[in-house]
Amino acid sequence: MKRILLLSLAFFMLNAPVFSQNTVKLNINHELGLVPFAFNIGAQNNIGDDFKITRLEYYLSQFTLVHDGGMETNINNVYALVDASEGTVIDLGSHNITSVEAIKFYIGVDAATNHLDPASYDASHALAPKSPSMHWGWSSGYRFAALEGNGSSSYNQSIELHGLGDNNYYQAEIPVTATAANNEVIVDVYADYTRALENISVNSGVFKHGFDGAARTLLFNLSQHVFNSFPTNTIDFSEVNSFDVFPNPTTGQTNISIEATEDFNYQVLITDVLGKTIELITDVKSNQPISTQIDNSGLYFVQLVKDGQTIITKKLLVQ
């Protein structure tokens, strides 16, 4: 029996997949629509509001690498404070990984760490005290993200959004293609910060520090809309001729139609003003109108989506 077990173990070891030890690094390319990100550049969000950003910082934590045919490696001891105005390369350590198919991470700080004392960390640590502060206090923990700037066409309205809260610890997942070279695996992702303010009205300015409202929407947008596996300037939506939502206002029933020059399956995403998904309609095709029912009155955003990117957004008022 012992001989058989030894032979079986040897067979397994000879036939098991072999991965080499490589250093994995996450490289975040910061964008503002079609141009590289920088402070005080004029931009628009998806609802046509003008803005400029003067501060944008956020935490990333609890990384997961999906690699080598679907295997997953969790990296729980790495915390990064990202400043969108600076180049960002995050060292995720050395692992038996040769190719990465997706990367996952959370926006913010996990609950177990969120309420610890920042002063207990070395000054160089991402969670140590910062200036300007990224810590809200003992009970609330860290600011997961801080975005500041100015809104309106003349940029004379203040924007200040600081999002926090254990319940707003959202995960992002980005499909990527990265393979080892020179003992490194460089994972490139692209962050388009016009989408950080998606569905947030900033023309009259906005001030929200806390767990809800526009601060929560900012955190949701960072997790679901900002990051992608390719640059924004490679996306072409020129095939869309029209996108209509009617009647508008409506008492509940809404019709949606799209006309496009290419036969492509789109998605229609309906959210409320807080960014909560009301309905996701898949396999939407050109010249095939669809209808939906929204029972609660209020303002909604109807988004036409292709390849994970919002092409057009329409406001819908339900009375």
Is position 9 within any domain?
no
Q: Does residue 8 have a pLDDT over 70?
A: no
Whether residue 227 is found in the same domain as residue 281: no
Q: Does residue 11 have a pLDDT over 60?
A: no
Domain end, chosen from 232, 251, 273, is at 232
Q: Which tokens in the block code for residue 13? A: 């070891």
Whether residue 266 is found in the same domain as residue 221: no
Confidence of residue 99 (pLDDT cuts 50, 70, 90): very high
Is position 12 within any domain?
no
pTM for the model stands at 0.76
- Pairing state of beta strands 277-284 and 309-318? unpaired
Whether residue 267 is found in the same domain as residue 209: no
Task: Rank 1-10, 214-223, 256-265 by mean pLDDT and report only the highest.
Answer: 214-223
% of the chain at pLDDT higher than 90 = 65
Cβ–Cβ < 8 Å for 88, 27: yes
Q: What is the pLDDT of residue 173?
A: 92
The chain-wide mean pLDDT, for the chain, equals: 89
Q: Does residue 15 have a pLDDT over 90?
A: no
Which residues, including other chains, have CB under 8 Å from residue 6's CB and lie 6 or more apart?
none
Whether residue 200 is found in the same domain as residue 273: no
Domain end, chosen from 197, 232, 267, is at 232
Q: Which tokens in the block code for residue 44? A: 């628009």
Whether residue 212 is found in the same domain as residue 149: yes
Q: What is the pLDDT of residue 19?
A: 55
Residue 287, φ and ψ in degrees, nearest 5: 60, 25
Q: Does residue 111 have a pLDDT over 60?
A: yes
Is position 10 within any domain?
no
Separation between Cα atoms, residue 270 and residue 168, nearest integer Å: 20
Domain end, chosen from 208, 232, 256, is at 232
Whether residue 35 is found in the same domain as residue 146: yes
Whether residue 258 is found in the same domain as residue 284: yes
- Domain count of the chain? 2
Q: Name the nearest CA neighbour of 162 among 225, 80, 218.
A: 218
The residue range of the domain holding 113 is 21-232
Whether residue 218 is found in the same domain as residue 241: no
Separation between Cα atoms, residue 24 and residue 76, nearest integer Å: 14
User: Residues 55-69: what's their mean pLDDT?
Assistant: 96
Q: Which tokens in the block code for residue 297? A: 């009155």
Is position 122 within any domain?
yes
Is position 143 within any domain?
yes
